[in-house]
Structure 1
Amino acid sequence: MEELTVIIPFLNEKTEVENTLNSLISHTNESINIIVINDASNDGYNYDMLEKKFNITYIKNKERMGVAKCRDLGISKMTTKYFLLLDAHMRFYTNDWYKILLKALYENPKSILCCQSRTIWNICNKLIEYEDRISNGAYINLNHTSIDFLDVRWDYTKSNNKDLIEIPCILGAGYAGSKEYWTFIRGLEGLLEYGLDEQFLSLKVWLTGGKCLLVKNITIGHIYRNFAPYATNSLWYYYNKMLIIELLLPNSVKYQYYNILKLSNKELFNEAYNRLKTNYDWIEEQKKYFKSIIINEYSYIENFNKSIMSNNIINIERAAKYNELENEIVKLLTISHNNNISISRGICGKIIILLLWARLTKSEIFEKIAESFISIVNENLSYNTPLTFENGLLGVGWCWEFLIQNKLLDGDSQIILEDIDNRIMSIRCDKMKDLSLETGLQGLIVYTLARIKGCIINNNEIPFDKEYICTLYDAIQNLLLNNPVPLKNIYFETELINILENNYKKADIQPLNSNDIRNFIKKNNEDNIHLYHIISEIMKYEKISIITYSIIHQFKI
């Protein structure tokens, strides 16, 4: 016997509707009803074929109703006791989701269930999944002195090991419940077009004595995108917020927040308020009904959300810093490198930043971008690549050492950099007239120091022969003592001298870090100091993940 109906409203989703249906059906072992509601799509795609292809109930709206009304419509048309609401851009992973969900629904009749959501981003038509970023439902900002009042946020705090967790707010577009309970709380009646569905439902559920529950062992992927394939309107958001306040919340909250909305955008506030006044009779009837079924005080819901919000304060602060840094990184990526592979001005610097950021945020997106830049470096390396630091092999080799020493890349630099090591040993560095970092002696010093530090840290044999070490030592001494032009920065030279003279303890040898980058940027061009700033900010945080050596094995020339 079919007990559950899946309801999927959509607008201008094109092939994603089919993709969602294919994923749903391939992970469903039971017989289920499916209702798909086309909310007056106008993108020219042939959605009508869905009905026959998938043997589903297909409803086609002549005019746009909005997601809230479409969900209400689907539930009114279904013939089963239970429902599952989905968006039309989702992916399933759990084959026994149906049994798990029904069991939870049987045991919790006065509830709205929320499935565990996995974040999927659509980047250049490629889906990238975040398997490790697990939330525990969401919470609502109930600070009515903030413009963000009623906005919803994911809860990333740690939870218990229960299969069902009480959560302040559902989120992620995988919601289940019974038709009877949905009708009892009057679903999403009254909302305009789009926005605040989850907050409206969640507040209704908790105020009427029900529960919002996260089903942790059902995971559904939700594809997020930067732009919706349809037009949205800020008026809907204002109106829906104000409607929720009118129907469910105390007057003290209403008056304070309405004043904030007026200050924020008086024109939008007035337009939304005038719409509310035209629905006065309906709103008064709804308020009377909710007053008759509300069990819990608003303060109960307020305290529940505040407790979750306070636990997420650190995450909020870190998110703000992440957003600021991420914006800087994105701006840096937009700067053309013109196939320059250097650290200070080109691709290698971007690779370091991208992999540091990917590790910090567990962002596969930035890791993939780094991979593409690594491929560009590989394609530009050859035996004709100059042996220089600014835009040649020494700079690439230093970048490689930095990434290995900081466990951003997993590989053996002894093998990868063997050809570079052999080539520099053929140079009589004590005879070099070019003393610059970019193309001369200082570039050799910076690279050699990085290699020797890596060998000491990893207990590897130093790859340079005695003749090269001696001539480099003489060249550094000559640079420091006999050069008529004083150097602005002798950080690398003095550190390498100390190591070559064995004036160090192994415990004092630290992996390459942002200070090293700062020092050679200062030698090079202080206009590029933003590179050091970004790297040093990222490196303040803990280290998280490693990208495998297999991605970059072609670094060996």
Structure 2
Amino acid sequence: MNVGLINGLSGEALRLFLSENDTCHKKGLALLDFIAEKIFSCKDYSFENGITGFGWLIAFLHQKKYLNINSDEILEDVDDQIYKITLADLGQDEPSIDKILGLVNYFLMRYRNDNLGENYYRKFAHSECLNLLFNYLINYIENCIRDTNITPYDFNCCCKILLKLGYSIEYLSFKNVNDQLIEFHIYFILFYEAKRITSKDFENEIYTEGLLYLLMSAKQKKYEILEQRLLYIGKKAGELFLQHFIYKIYSKRKCDYSLLKDERLLFILTNYIEEEIQLFKH
């Protein structure tokens, strides 16, 4: 049984709540109860398919006031387990960037939760986990830049990280990161332009997706000059850029989110400032 956010029951529950329909809301509550009975037999702790994603879902529904709960009480055991997993992952030589970004999703949403009589130390633990994760991600970017031989995968990951960091610091202060962010944006824009000119085996699809991460990030951070430069570069890249779902989200505020696959919906909900989007309604 797939209880995950990607093609699983948690993803189905998320869509039921976002539909803003009373009947769907009741179905969502029933489905949440069913998942809660099954989730602790799940051995997968990933954001996309496991316990971390289900914990994020509960925290998200609390944050959006779909659930009237004390999320600290509900997620106390989940917090403790994911905290241990975070320390273990950061202790590995090369943890998966996507896994680290999934942990950022969880702790950021938990940090944003407000509960009556909340425990200061629990919120502090969330912020400290985020600081550890942010430091790892920034070090990853700096190591890629120092290496100079940036692979298409590295470029894509670095741009995805910049989008996540820019989104996250709208909700949580992280010292000195704003200056680093704009410098990193400039570096990867110049890298992309040089690579496109000099590389005979330019992997257009991978680089184009990274470029779109940069564009979304520049828009959210209000780097207007960089945003215009990215638009100019992207439009020169052609149809892959213009037909990508990220560009469609970027270029118009209204979108039928019910048509987005689970992975794309989660990407929007965990990377795009809420005021910039309108969730789908039936």
Match of 2:165 among 493, 500, 517: 493
Taking a change above 3 Å as real, the CA distance of residues 407 and 497 of structure 1, as seen in their structure-2 partners, is closer
Contact 1:421 1:463 in 2 (8 A): no
Match of 2:137 among 473, 476, 480: 476
TM-score by length of 2: 0.51
Match of residue 444 from structure 1: 103
Q: How many Å separate the matches in 1 of 2:117 and 2:167?
A: 18
Match of residue 54 from structure 1: none
Q: How many Å separate the matches in 2 of 1:464 and 1:417?
A: 14
Match of 1:417 among 49, 69, 75: 75
1:539 aligns with 2:279: yes
Q: How many Å separate the matches in 1 of 2:132 and 2:29?
A: 38
Contact 1:340 1:346 in 2 (8 A): yes
Contact 1:430 1:474 in 2 (8 A): no
Taking a change above 3 Å as real, the CA distance of residues 396 and 409 of structure 1, as seen in their structure-2 partners, is same
Taking a change above 3 Å as real, the CA distance of residues 386 and 374 of structure 1, as seen in their structure-2 partners, is same
> How many Å apart are 1:404 and its aligned residue?
0.7
Taking a change above 3 Å as real, the CA distance of residues 401 and 458 of structure 1, as seen in their structure-2 partners, is farther
> How many Å apart are 1:497 and its aligned residue?
5.2
Contact 1:389 1:443 in 2 (8 A): yes
> Residues 96-140 of structure 1: CA distance to partner in whole angstroms, max 9, x if unpaired?
xxxxxxxxxxxxxxxxxxxxxxxxxxxxxxxxxxxxxxxxxxxxx
1:382 aligns with 2:40: yes
> How many Å apart are 1:470 and its aligned residue?
4.7
Contact 1:414 1:463 in 2 (8 A): no
> How many Å apart are 1:441 and its aligned residue?
1.4
Q: How many Å separate the matches in 2 of 1:501 and 1:533?
A: 22
Q: How many Å separate the matches in 1 of 2:83 and 2:136?
A: 14
> How many Å apart are 1:408 and its aligned residue?
0.7
1:453 aligns with 2:79: no
Q: How many Å separate the matches in 2 of 1:419 and 1:425?
A: 10
Q: How many Å separate the matches in 2 of 1:415 and 1:452?
A: 14
Taking a change above 3 Å as real, the CA distance of residues 387 and 406 of structure 1, as seen in their structure-2 partners, is same
Contact 1:388 1:443 in 2 (8 A): yes
Identify which range, 474-483 or 340-349, moves more after superposition.
474-483
Match of 2:91 among 419, 431, 448: 431
Q: How many Å separate the matches in 1 of 2:265 and 2:168?
A: 24
Give the letter for the 2:75 counterpart: L
- Which ranges in structure 2 are unaligned for 5 or more consecutive residues? 145-149, 178-219, 221-244, 250-259
Give the letter for the 1:492 counterpart: K
Contact 2:59 2:113 in 1 (8 A): yes
Match of residue 370 from structure 1: 28
- Which ranges in structure 1 are unaligned for 5 or more consecutive residues? 1-338, 505-514, 543-557
> How many Å apart are 1:447 and its aligned residue?
0.8
Q: Where does 1:304-315 land on structure 2 (aligned, <5 Å)?
A: none
Q: Where does 1:83-102 land on structure 2 (aligned, <5 Å)?
A: none
Match of residue 355 from structure 1: 17
Give the letter for the 1:348 counterpart: S
Contact 2:18 2:281 in 1 (8 A): no
TM-score by length of 1: 0.28
Q: How many Å separate the matches in 2 of 1:529 and 1:465?
A: 24
Match of residue 340 from structure 1: 2
Match of 1:406 among 49, 56, 64: 64
> Residues 228-279 of structure 1: CA distance to partner in whole angstroms, max 9, x if unpaired?
xxxxxxxxxxxxxxxxxxxxxxxxxxxxxxxxxxxxxxxxxxxxxxxxxxxx
> How many Å apart are 1:421 and its aligned residue?
1.6
Taking a change above 3 Å as real, the CA distance of residues 400 and 473 of structure 1, as seen in their structure-2 partners, is same
User: CA RMSD, aligned part only?
Assistant: 4.1
> How many Å apart are 1:340 and its aligned residue?
1.5
Greater relative CO (CA pairs within 8 A, separation 6+)? 2
Secondary structure, counterpart of 2:113 in structure 1? helix
Secondary structure, counterpart of 2:58 in structure 1? helix
- Post-superposition, which runs of at least 4 consecutive aligned residues in structure 1 deviate over 4 A? 455-460, 526-538
